[in-house]
Structure 1
Amino acid sequence: MSQVFKALSDPTRRRVLQLLRQGPMSAGELSDRFDVSRPTMSAHFAVLKEADLVHAEKVGKSVIYHLKLSVLEDALLGFVHSFGPGVEMPAPSRKAAG
């Protein structure tokens, strides 16, 4: 779950996921929508793949990205359930006054 939230921590990666909700897009199509270098976009794609939020499919010379919405939904639901009603919270640690 932490890899998913690491991926979601960046606004560019969140925007990529929003665009992919509309349907699969090539790396070039996605990159053209951002004012960042291709290597930077490649690094963003790597983080999204590592978090299993996207699937990359090689088609000819292009790489087509697909959103794996179920992975995102599972991570968000898991997060909500871990802080939901009935979840025992650890007692706060007491630090010595100093």
Structure 2
Amino acid sequence: MTDETNSVFEALAHPTRRQILQDLKDGEQAAGEIAARFSVSGPTISRHLGLLRGAGLITERRDANRILYSLAEERLALSVGDFLSTVCPEQIVLREVRRRRGPATGDVAVQP
């Protein structure tokens, strides 16, 4: 595996970091909002956020004196998807079938 892939899986290895990612799926959140959900110290959450950011799984932006975090969905999907495609090639076919499904009905879209 590449160093990039290793950093993603290292970031996903801890339950607190996985929970942070799940919480960010609903949208951007301030560092304080994220920290308030956990019973660990602020510096511990900061380290988790730093590791997630270093792996490219979240992004941050400053808004005055606040740091806002967002999920980097594409990076997460590509990293995990590439790994699955390598160890489980049938995932490539399943992904293509899902991509072709109609959004409302679930029917497979007709390709011209």
- Shorter-chain TM range is 0.7 to 0.9
3-state SS of the aligned residue for 1:56? strand
Say if 2:82 is the partner of 1:78: yes
Alignment size in residue pairs: 86
Aligned counterparts of 2:88 and 2:33: Cα–Cα separation in 1 = 39
Q: How does 1:56-75 map to 2 (within 5 A)?
A: 56-75=60-79
What residue in structure 1 maps to residue 45 of structure 2? Answer: 41
Match for 2:27 among 23, 29, 32? 23
Gapped regions of structure 2 (runs ≥ 5):
91-112
Match for 1:2 among 6, 25, 40? 6
- 1:28-87 CA distance string (max 9 Å, x none): 00000000001100100110000000001010100000100000000111111111248x
RCO greater where, 1 or 2, for CA within 8 Å and sep 6 or more?
A: 1
Gapped regions of structure 1 (runs ≥ 5):
87-98
Tell me which amino acid in the other structure corresponds to 1:67. L
Identity of aligned pairs, percent?
36
Aligned counterparts of 1:64 and 1:84: Cα–Cα separation in 2 = 36
Between Structure 1 and Structure 2, which shows a larger proportion of helix residues? 2
Provide runs of 4+ in structure 1 moved above 6 Å: none
